[in-house]
Amino acid sequence: MKAYDKAEKKLSTNGSDRLKIYRLAPEIVAENRGISSQEIIDEMLKDAERDVAYGKEVDPESEYRYKFHFVSSYIMGHFVANIITEKQADDLMDYNNEAWDLFPDA
């Protein structure tokens, strides 16, 4: 996924914590899709933060699944921005979960 590679490069230049890589997803969605509305970008970030917080409530170890959180935040950012439907987001998550083996222990 090119978006993840972009996020990795941004992490290496700004020294951010890998566990917070998901926070870069909305910015990359905006760059890739030409979104300039700060309101939409903020909403994508809020959605990503809610999702990660919920995951940590359910399973505290989920915090360490930073690739999953990035992929989910990136895909759901497209949904929040009304670029894809919820069904398309679910299908993309299913595909990427398999393709990236985001849950190898499952």
Residue 22 belongs to a domain? yes
Please give the structure tokens belonging to residue 71: 């992929």
Domain hosting residue 54, numbered range: 2-100
Q: Which of 57, 70, 56 is nearest to 102 (CA)?
A: 70
Q: Which is higher by pLDDT, 69 or 11?
A: 69
Write phi, then psi, for 85 (nearest 5 degrees): -85, 170
Please give the structure tokens belonging to residue 36: 């300039």
pTM of the model: 0.92
Pairwise CA distance, residues 29 & 88, whole Å: 16
- Give the model confidence (pLDDT) of 82-105 as tens digits: 999 999 999 999 999 999 888 877
Residue 49 belongs to a domain? yes
Residue 106 belongs to a domain? no
Residue 69 belongs to a domain? yes
